[in-house]
Structure 1
């Protein structure tokens, strides 16, 4: 965060900023990032202290900062930034106090609590964690999400963004959205792109310079899978956004049609070109419709522990995927997950008890994308202590 801001300031892209980092208290009995509800899986033991946290920031911390430093205290120069559950808190705090905070940056927001659930039709148990006012106040917002965040899905953040648009928020000037390819749910990935919302909120972005169409290019006529184009616009000074609305045309509407939101509508088997136009800029990509494409795929994970350490009955992969012991040092599990969801993880045998390399040193996260039914095999060399951390910014 500090390095990103310093770089933007040094290059003249933004004015000088005062950044206040607030230490987060690990939730034991209460979570300061929850304003209204805690996930049902936590609600028995964890309460909501977001209102108290909000009071502390507005009535204790901000007055202290304004008193000690040469601030511009008005709402147009004051913002909140949070990631994951802190982004949820940022949304709620900003919606409740638009006279204090005029800029809201929400990175990989925890808008929806999601658990794998084979008993549901969707394969997921989803619980909305956010509340939006009927009348959205006059604030600027940035929302982003990576496409390799496990069950933190781009579609969840897009849904909230479109709900804000339906309430009168203007796309682009008042609300910016970004879907970042390959980005995971971890500090290293947030740090790698935090310069973008800082530039959007506090800088001069210049004119659009190029367009690109990313994401899946094969869709199914049947099967129920919704595909939305990740249409990204690049600006002269380095800003990147994903469009929530665009001017699209199809070369063959009898094969594929496309809504202004970028959602592809399959009509018949075949291929067609989709063109996005924005002022004098345009870009085209070919999309193909196949007979059927299911919404979910099955992923089977097999892991073998090569060390002679004491074995556990269960270990865990990404997003709480539980692997049961199937033999000496062997574990396996199969899961029904959303097609195209990407996972970045290290195996654990309990909270922050991560796998390590043969020398007990942290390892980089394992990554896979569930584009089709798949079976993956991993070797676990050793288990570290509870303090083992990855050198590339491991998952929380």
Structure 2
């Protein structure tokens, strides 16, 4: 029987162009020590300080080693090495930005993504290939990241397909979106990625949760659709999942990381075991558009959103459904819709109404503990800035896209979250903006932690 997996720590690994050091954590699969002639695929992972354990007590971790252990033990994926690269906090520069930082950060955050790319390819990978028994070619070398790390994975991978053949991007930070704090304008958006439209020898995974606030599914789905149009074969070269109720945080990424591991390193193809039609079950003749999130679940644990479905509508005079899941309403009423994927069916009733606005109003207020020097603003939800309106109360009113979901804790600085009265971590607050909302909250206590000056904060500091 093979032995247990192990994690090897490499301290103070030097990056030449970045002129900094960081910790590298290397997961070695069960049997690595015993099978001395065997070589292994390698998956390089950004933000590695949270790959295997929390960065500090009370914070979250991916626990990707536990996912890999289980999948290997069950014979679902091949044995792999995972190289977790600790991130250097973006105080004056951000290693995950290649070409452009969001305008709000550009004055004080430099883009050092090209130097970080050099570090991984020229400093780290040669060392890993010398020290460990790797399969060094691109077909056996992957890169994984979430949020800004997903953006970095995208740029590094598409720029270096001769090095990385497998790219896993969870909730990639492709577009910065923001709300009007006065609730008058709609959504502001700023694109942060460069489009790559050539068909390259890459295997790609993209996903996004539907409770990530202003990390909107359409930002990721649009990239996937363009790559499919460029020749990537869906389900083979490229996979995509819109995950219900998943938020923008390590615990949620860790909860589903087994899915892209199966897609990239699975031993055998799975078979469709179930299909589900998710998302809103109504559509409107005027206003917002409805797109069905159809998810196929496989017997090996893989999940894929269906992008080119075989839909049948019981009453086609009420609506039609395009292969990409877009609902085309024709008149008010309701009808059953059935999707068939590899012989497995799912049916759901959909209703057509006259009108649904694209945006809804969310009014939020929160009471906080008394402070000698209260902050002028705090954050609640993804990008929701609440201003102090006297005493210990903060408030804001926002127009948000209908059906966006939010899971969050209030914060008043870099990872300085609210806590329970005894100082313990709180579960996330949550709401979905399916209609106009008036929300009232109370913060019991703030984490005791020094906060950087506002001009030195990055996007991640304010919202994660």
Given the two structures, how large is their TM-score scaled by the length of structure 1? 0.94
Bigger drift between 42-51 and 183-192 goes to 42-51
Match of 2:82 in 1: 19
2:300 aligned with 1:237, yes or no?
A: yes
Choose which of 203, 206, 220 in structure 1 pairs with 2:284.
220
Match of 1:309 in 2: 371
CA distance in 1 between counterparts of 2:162 and 2:413 reads 43
Choose which of 68, 71, 75 in structure 1 pairs with 2:134.
71
What secondary structure, in the 3-state scheme, does the structure 1 residue paired with 2:362 have?
A: strand
What secondary structure, in the 3-state scheme, does the structure 2 residue paired with 1:163 have?
A: helix
Per-residue deviation, 1:268: 1.1
Match of 2:310 in 1: 247
CA distance in 2 between counterparts of 1:10 and 1:77 reads 20
Choose which of 242, 248, 271 in structure 2 pairs with 1:207.
271
Match of 1:84 in 2: 147
What secondary structure, in the 3-state scheme, does the structure 2 residue paired with 1:88 have?
A: helix
CA distance in 2 between counterparts of 1:325 and 1:279 reads 55
Match of 1:290 in 2: 353
Cα deviation, 1:159-178, whole Å, max 9, x if unaligned, reads: 11101111111111111111
Paired residues of 1:273 and 1:286 also in contact (CA < 8 A): yes
Per-residue deviation, 1:255: 1.3
Paired residues of 1:95 and 1:136 also in contact (CA < 8 A): no
Per-residue deviation, 1:246: 1.1
User: Kindly tell me: are residues 63 and 210 of structure 1, through their superposed partners in 2, closer, same or farther at Cα, counting changes over 3 Å?
Assistant: same
Paired residues of 1:361 and 1:384 also in contact (CA < 8 A): no
Gaps of 5+ in 2: 1-63, 452-461
Choose which of 99, 114, 117 in structure 2 pairs with 1:36.
99
Gaps of 5+ in 1: 389-393
Match of 1:139 in 2: 202
Per-residue deviation, 1:230: 0.8
Match of 1:7 in 2: 70
What secondary structure, in the 3-state scheme, does the structure 1 residue paired with 2:345 have?
A: strand
Given the two structures, how large is their TM-score scaled by the length of structure 2? 0.81
Paired residues of 1:352 and 1:387 also in contact (CA < 8 A): no
Match of 1:379 in 2: 442
Choose which of 252, 260, 270 in structure 1 pairs with 2:333.
270
* 1:122-133 aligned within 5 A: 123-133=186-196
CA distance in 2 between counterparts of 1:141 and 1:309 reads 48
CA distance in 1 between counterparts of 2:102 and 2:262 reads 33
Cα deviation, 1:214-244, whole Å, max 9, x if unaligned, reads: 1000111101x12211101111111111112
CA distance in 2 between counterparts of 1:268 and 1:358 reads 53
CA distance in 1 between counterparts of 2:319 and 2:393 reads 46
Match of 2:247 in 1: 184
Cα deviation, 1:189-211, whole Å, max 9, x if unaligned, reads: 00111011001110124211111
Per-residue deviation, 1:287: 0.6
CA distance in 2 between counterparts of 1:119 and 1:172 reads 43
Cα deviation, 1:241-293, whole Å, max 9, x if unaligned, reads: 11121111222222111111111111111112111112321111111110000
User: Kindly tell me: are residues 312 and 395 of structure 1, through their superposed partners in 2, closer, same or farther at Cα, counting changes over 3 Å?
Assistant: closer
